[in-house]
Each structure stands twice: as structure tokens, then as C-alpha cells.
Chain A
């Protein structure tokens, strides 16, 4: 009999950094910093996404995210949410690098407000510039295997196709293309956006993704901390199912009990 694979031995590496949790969580939309911190803790995430925004100079002593989620314990992944051009995204990440002092970033360049669908022309342009400047961009993109390959060629350290529009919670809409991206990629692939509940995260992992990034599915759950736990379990379950190798599908029934020896 094969010895069971310990789950703890499973890890993934992006841009030379190794993580054991395959769940990346956002820090937006929470009712309070306390709830946010508790959800991050429950999710087991080692990376959290953060946005870069102006400080409120009218009230400089307001509590800050860094007071609740310690950047020394959890890797902050600055994003470019809200940027609609390559130039805006690059400017934002230059500031993020100065604020945090690291080069691992999440690039997203949006095409329109209604769908928050990525603008791939601007995304590719920004990726090229960022890589030249020494950034290690994990890139939010369309679920298109050709676009994914172009991003990887441009130096993206991770490919992050959407499962469905940001904040929609509709689940993985196109399993075929996500699977194609996974098969073709030489860098980690993470589903970013579209997860609504635990089974969606498991689907992403069963497709062979290296991880899942989500925000709204946890933050807008009735009990975000409990949902964070659910997502942790789902990502682990999906990963194990992928590694275990699922059974083949049949068109008709196949009995599990022996037919021989029936009375």
C-alpha cells in the first residue's frame, strides 16, 4: 500500500518564494479591520491583496490596515485595482514598491467599469514595463490560453485568469480554457475573481490551478470567518482531488458491490 502523502508537504513557489497555503485573500469590503484580520487568520492565507490609495490627510491618525494585518507575518500583494491604463497601473505599483519595499505585485488593468473585464492590450504593455523595472507581476487576465502565454513570455510570474467577473460570485465559467491555461503555463496559474462559494474554489483546484485568489466570496458571506474556513478546506480538498486523480466518467451505472455471490 502506498503511504499517504502528507498534506503539509504540498507547497507552491512564485518568483522564488514558497508558500504552503494556496489561498490568497483580499482585504476589501469587510465590515471592520477586526473581522478582516479574523477572516485572514481563519483562511490560513499567507498572501493578502491590498490596494494603494491616498492617505486621509484630514484625519492622519485613522487606524490603518497594517495595524491589524501585520505585513511581517503575511505577504502583502499590492494591486492596481481601479486602474484603466498601463500608465496608471505602473505609477501605482511604483508607489506600492516604495510603501512596502517589495517587487511581488498584482497587476490588473481594467477595460470597463461595468464588467471590470481586463484590458489585455494595456495589461501586456504594463507587464513588459514592470518586468523591465524589476517588478515580479502576478497578472490578472482573461481566461484565454494565448493571452496567458503572451503574458508569460513578457515575464509575468503568475497567470491569474478570471473565473467570472470580479465580485460576481458566479463560479468558474469556463473550465475548458482554465484547464488549457494550466496545461500550457510554465508559471503558477491562479483563478482570480469569480469564486462565490467553497465548491467554486474546489473546482479551480481540481482543474490543476496552483491557487485561488478571492475577496468578495469571503467578505460578503453572512459569516466571513466561517466562510474563510470553508474556503481553506475547499482549496485543500480540490488540490488533493487533483493530485489523487479523479475517476473516469462513465455514461451509465457501474455497481460498487460485487455481482458474484448474490443470493
Chain B
């Protein structure tokens, strides 16, 4: 409940402020969002599993975002930014799907 509230607050603040993303960080924002999405779904699943932990959530969130951005940055420097971004998204997407499947099983028992 409190997590849903936080999500709402964050979205509203983002929509209200509409901050300008620096041009250099712009390519990494979508990847960071996908990585954050993975962390959030993992946390939701852990919450439903009864093993949620605030510290782990924070650390996994931050590290996910930073590592995803770092990988894409490195790929950009090496000239394979697009491919690395695709790889990151594939891996995170698979994790998100499996987490969501677990969550679905928890909620709907199906």
C-alpha cells in the first residue's frame, strides 16, 4: 500500500516538475527505467514471498540502475551500445517476466 503510494507520488512529481534530462544521460534513462522496473518487480515478488527487505531492495535498485547504465555507457564507448542495450533489456525482460509470473501465481493462485 505504502509502495503504491510512493509510486504515485513519484509519478506525480515527475509529471509536475518535468525536469530536463541532460543530453548526455538521455540514452541511459530508458535502460535505467527497465532495470528499476526489474528491481521493483523483484521486490514485489519478495514481498509476496514474505522475504522482503528494505536494504536489499535499495541496494538492488541502485545497483541495477547503475550497472545497466554503465553497461550501455561502456557499449557506447566501444561502439556496441545498441547491442549491449538490447542484451540488457532481454535479460531484464526475462527476469521481469518470470517475476511477474511468480507474482501472478501468488495473487491469483494460477
A binds B: no
